[in-house]
Amino acid sequence: MLDSGAVRAHFPSLQRQENGRPVIYFDNPAGTQVPVETSRGYLWYLENANANEGGLFHTSRTTDRVIAEARAAMADFLDAASPEEIVFGANMTTLAFHLAHGIGRTLQPGDRIVTTRLEHDANVSPWLALCERGIAVDFIDIDTDDMTLDMESAASVIRRGTRLVAAGYASNAFGTINDVRRLGEIAHAAGALFFVDAVHYGPHGPISVRDIGADLLAVSPYKFFGPHLGVLYGRSDVLASIPVDHVRPAGDTPPHSWETGTQSHEALKALLGALSYLESLGEGEDRRTRLRSAMTRIKSHERVLAERLIGGLAAIPGVRIYGISAPGRFGERVPTVSITMTGLMPAEVAARLGERAIYTWNGNHYAVEPMRRLGVPETLRIGLVHYNTPEEIDRFLDALREIVG
194-233: pLDDT as tens digits: 999 999 999 999 999 999 999 999 999 999 999 999 999 9
| d(C-alpha 65, C-alpha 51), whole Å | 12
pLDDT at 1: 81
C-alpha 134/C-alpha 376 separation (Å) is 31
Instruction: In whole angstroms, give the CA distance from residue 11 to residue 32.
Output: 10
**Residue 16's pLDDT is what?**
97
- Write down the CATH number for the domain with range 4-26+287-404: 3.90.1150.10
- Check residue 317 and give its pLDDT: 97
* Phi, psi (deg, nearest 5) at residue 316: -95, 120
Distance of CA 303 to the CA centre of its chain: 18
Model pLDDT, residue 160: 87
Q: Which pairing describes strands 319-322 and 336-341: parallel, antiparallel, or unpaired? A: antiparallel
The model's pTM is: 0.97
**CB atoms near residue 379 (< 10 Å):** 26
d(CA 174, CA 14): 25
**Amino acid 134: pLDDT:** 95
pLDDT at residue 113, as a whole number: 98
Q: State residue 327's pLDDT score.
A: 87
DSSP state of 242: S
**Consecutive sets of 10 residues in the chain, 405 residues long: mean pLDDT of each?**
95 96 98 98 98 97 98 98 98 97 96 98 98 96 97 92 97 98 97 98 98 98 98 98 93 94 96 98 98 98 97 97 94 98 98 98 98 96 98 98 94
Structure letter (DSSP) for residue 52? -
DSSP state of 170: B
DSSP 8-state code for residue 81 = S
**CATH class of the region 41-278:** alpha beta
Q: How many helices (H) and strands (E) does the chain have?
A: 13, 17
- Model confidence pLDDT, tens digit, residues 253-296: 999 999 999 999 999 999 999 999 999 999 999 999 999 999 99
| Residues 118, 137: Cα–Cα separation, whole Å | 14
| Per-residue pLDDT, 405 | 85
Residues 6+ apart with CB under 8 A from 56: none
Alpha-carbon gap, residue 94 to 98, rounded angstroms: 6
What residue spans define the domains of the chain?
4-26+287-404, 41-278
13 closest CA partner among 399, 359, 350: 359
